[in-house]
Copies of this chain bind each other. A is one copy, B any other.
Amino acid sequence: MESRPVRIGIIGAGFVGSALAELLSDSSRAQALADAATAPVELVGVAVRDASRTRPGVPSDLVTDDFDELLSRDLDVLVEVVGGIEPAKGFIERALRAKVSVVTANKALLAAHGYELSQLANENSVDLFYEAAVAGGIPILRALRSSLAGEQILRVMGIVNGTTNFILSKMSNEGLDYADVLAQAQALGFAEADPTADVEGFDPAAKIAILSSLAFGTKLEGDEIAREGISGIRSVDVEFARRSGYVIKLLGIAERIGDSGLSRRVHPTLVPKEHPLASVNGAMNAVFVDGAKSGPLMWLGQGAGGEPTATAVLGDVLDAARNRVSDRHDIPFTYDNRLHLVDEGELRSAFYISIDVDDEPGVLAAVANIFAEQGVSILSMEQSGEGAEARMSFVTHEARTESVRATIHALSDLPKVERVGACLRVLAGGL
């Protein structure tokens, strides 16, 4: 069987685009790619802003600075690795309307406009795939779309931001403070000069929006995700967690609540040391899925980096190519929105609360009284430090989030309390 080659174009030649161009141009892999795609695969062009710059791995005769000219090269699949909302969105829309399948790694765009883009792909009978948008090289989206398509998912939970996991791991392993580790991460290129998107949880929130849409059929467009970052975490919190058998991880969570509820949130969490997510260190990512029948499943891998991400993009390219060869496309996931968003204040969880207090008698009585007034029951308490450094650390029994917030509020008003340091959820034990 001799098939017409499947023609691939790339827009964007950063780390991922260059690594992908190199994979697609590697003649020693051509046969393996053709086997997987059921037809030869040919890179026919790479569109960039400045065509005069040379890029390692990118054949210079394929480079153009004119997107329309690239689109006119009779493409089967366009790979978008430009990032950001515009002009990426415009490029993708024009490609889909031209009946070109699109593979993208653009989580921000998908979290904001994924639903409308999926519809547009379907109307034009082409594919829109985006495996690399969540957890880099980990093939979690295809597993949700395909292997677990018949499963009732109860919870999807993950470490899906490498920067914050790097920072938290380093704080935990080396006892360093947040600001120092952030500065190191910035120097090493693991954190941006403006780290807000990572450390305040915007990036993992976009990924949870995408995971939630596939796992729970929620509409992928401007999804609201409750969000807390890691910038308020101190080394004393990390140390307390360690002594108590936990590690602090920034988790993204989407979970079914009761029959028809759904909660989606990103927050730092005390994870029990025995939990598989606890040992996911450095820039690694992991996604944990609880299925009604499958039980717990976890995927672990590189969350970022040009080559791992390019591998995930390549998996999508081959999928789209196979579909082109057999003249079909995947039906986009149905967004039935059967579940309603549960108010986060209603959720129950155990909490770790750390407060800086005046070092004088009677403080514990005053503080304990406030917990009691809000109906928040204390599991354990530890006093540490002296003088200006005096602290109390509490772990509560499971309590309503709203009640814990009211407790925090009342504690802040207490004259003997200098400030409330951390208020972090504790993940329930076991798998």
Complex-state Cα separation, A139 to B33, whole angstroms: 22
A355 in contact (CB, < 8 A):
no
Chain B residues with CB under 8 Å of A35's CB are 149, 331, 334
| Neighbour of A302 across the interface among B137, B294, B300, B308, CB < 8 A | B294
Near B by CB (< 8 A), chain A positions 289-305 give 291, 293-302, 305
A295 with B148: CB separation less than 8 A: no
28 A-B Cβ contacts within 8 A?
A23-B150, A32-B150, A32-B152, A35-B331, A36-B150, A38-B331, A131-B147, A137-B297, A139-B143, A139-B146, A142-B142, A146-B318, A146-B319, A147-B315, A148-B315, A150-B318, A276-B280, A279-B279, A293-B307, A293-B311, A294-B312, A295-B305, A296-B300, A297-B300, A298-B298, A298-B299, A299-B300, A300-B300
In the assembled complex, the CB of A319 is this many whole angstroms from the nearest CB of chain B, namely: 7
Chain B residues in 8 Å Cβ range of A36: 149-150
Q: How far is the CB of A66 from chain B (nearest CB, A)?
A: 28
Complex contact B276–A147 (CB within 8 A): no
Taken together, the copies of this chain in the complex come to 2
Q: Which residues of B contact A314 (CB under 8 A)?
A: 150-151
Most B CB within 10 A of own CB, among A33, A131, A299, A326: A299
User: Which B residues are in CB contact (< 8 Å) with A274?
Assistant: 279
* A208 interface hit (Cβ, 8 Å): no
Cα distance A311–B33 in the bound complex, in angstroms: 29
* CB within 8 Å for A139 and B150 given contacts A23-B293, A293-B19, A294-B307: no
Contact string against B for A residues 32-48, beta-carbon threshold 8 Å, 1 for contact and 0 otherwise: 11011010000000000
B residues less than 8 Å from A296 (CB atoms): 300-302
Note all chain B residues with C-beta closer than 8 A to A151: 311, 314-315
Asked whether any CB of chain B lies closer than 8 Å to the CB of A241, the reply is no
The 8 closest A-B pairs by CB, nearest first: A139-B147, A36-B149, A298-B300, A147-B315, A294-B311, A297-B301, A293-B307, A150-B314
